[in-house]
Amino acid sequence: MKSVTAQQREKLKSYVSLAMLCKFKLGSTWYFISNKDKAKDYNSNTYQPAYLLETDDIEITSTPKIDDISVVIDGTDSVFIGLFLAQAWMNQSLELVQLYLDKDGSTIYSEVAYSGLISAVNISTGSPYKIDVTVSSVWKDFEKQAGIKTNPTSQQIHYPLCTGFEHVSQATKSTPWGKEGNGRSLSSNATYSRTSKFDGPGVP
């Protein structure tokens, strides 16, 4: 838990406003936005104003949060809509920091409100244009069972371009693992043939 100095504690009694900062990663690039109407410098980064439209209510406590939250980003100028469509976002980091500001807009105190990984994105192209980002807590991942589940969403977390599970329902014949054969597998739409570069041990 972050400590508060006596001077900060005294100033916090009369803080004027709150600011929520959001930093997140798309591909290999970090982006910094806030819900304020002016750019805000924090930890050597400039947070661009007005892009952070909304977040779920977050109660800041010393206990790690494991619930998913929603973060809504403004998409009016299409900047972030294009970025989310073009860059890898699955399991990328997102962090929210809450600032307590004095009457001059200077930071009295700051604390991390939420830290997690982007798990879903919904882009709305109606009025207004916005991007609803679902963020899953980094602590919640410890509760998940390791491994890949047999569905497209789970598979694509690890292999984003894989669409294998989307075509499983078309299969009409299964080939058990290790069964002798010529390596041909039939589906309702096509016939696939595969030859391995490696010699197998064979099946008795």
pLDDT higher at 198 or 77: 77
**Residue 170 shares a structural domain with residue 139:** no
Among 129, 144, 159, identify where a domain stops.
144
Residue 52: per-residue pLDDT: 96
pLDDT at 159 exceeding the cut of 80: no
Helices then strands (H, E): number in the chain? 3, 11
**Residue 65 shares a structural domain with residue 129:** yes
Q: Which two tokens stand for residue 175?
A: 């080939």
**Residue 87 shares a structural domain with residue 157:** no
- Residue 169: inside a domain: yes
Residue 138: per-residue pLDDT: 73
Number of domains in the chain: 2
Domain that holds residue 110: 6-144
**Residue 65 shares a structural domain with residue 160:** no
pLDDT higher at 123 or 8: 123
- Residue 104: inside a domain: yes
Give the DSSP letter string of 42-110.
ETTEEEBTT-EEEE------SSPP-S-EEEEEE-TTSHHHHHHHHS--TT-EEEEEEEEE-TTS-EEEE
**Residue 139 shares a structural domain with residue 157:** no
pLDDT confidence band for 50 (50 / 70 / 90): very high
**What is the average pLDDT across 46-73?**
84
pLDDT at 141 exceeding the cut of 60: no
- Residue 203: inside a domain: no
**Residue 104 shares a structural domain with residue 181:** no
- Residue 137: inside a domain: yes
